[in-house]
């Protein structure tokens, strides 16, 4: 069975600073995808970044980047130059057979 663990229920970061959210996972699949989703108070889950497991290069999307350590089954998200609009719940997810498995989420607070 696939599992996703987010060990930080809540994190805080000063505006303009950098923060890293942790995620570890377990899977027996050789081919899978990893995702970070953001859920603001509007409730809509927004895809932040996507990583293909067979690619060694870490994915980046503007201020968001990941540190993908396949052997360690770790997939952390780094947010640089944090902005007030980054405040939200962040969920790590892995693609399974016709479904995603989500972690329990990390609430990110951005302090002005």
Partner 1 sequence: KAGVTQTPRYLIKTRGQQVTLSCSPISGHRSVSWYQQTPGQGLQFLFEYFSETQRNKGNFPGRFSGRQFSNSRSEMNVSTLELGDSALYLCASSPLVSGSGGYTFGSGTRLTVV
DSSP secondary structure, 17-67, as one string: --EEE--EEE---SS-EEEEEEE-TT---EEEEEEETT--SPPEETTEEEE
Residues 51-90 that bind partner 1 (CB under 8 A): none
Contact segment (CB under 8 A) with partner 1 among 10-18, 20-28, 64-72, 103-111 equals 103-111
**Based on CB atoms, which residue is closest to partner 1, 11 or 45?**
45
Contact stretch for partner 1 (CB under 8 A) within 8-16, 18-26, 30-38, 75-83: 30-38
Q: Are 18 and 82 in contact (CB under 8 A)?
A: yes
For partner 1, the binding residues (CB under 8 A) are 33, 35, 37, 42-47, 50, 91, 95-105
């Amino acid at each position: 069975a696939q599992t996703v663990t987010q060990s930080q229920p809540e994190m805080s970061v000063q505006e303009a600073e950098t923060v890293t959210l942790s995620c570890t996972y377990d899977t027996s699949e050789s081919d899978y995808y990893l995702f970070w989703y953001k859920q603001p108070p509007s409730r809509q889950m927004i895809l932040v970044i996507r990583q293909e497991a067979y690619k060694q290069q870490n994915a980046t999307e503007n201020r968001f980047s990941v540190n993908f350590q396949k052997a360690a089954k770790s997939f952390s998200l780094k947010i640089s130059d944090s902005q007030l609009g980054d405040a939200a719940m962040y969920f790590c997810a892995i693609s399974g057979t016709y479904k995603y498995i989500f972690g329990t989420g990390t609430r990110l607070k951005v302090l002005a």
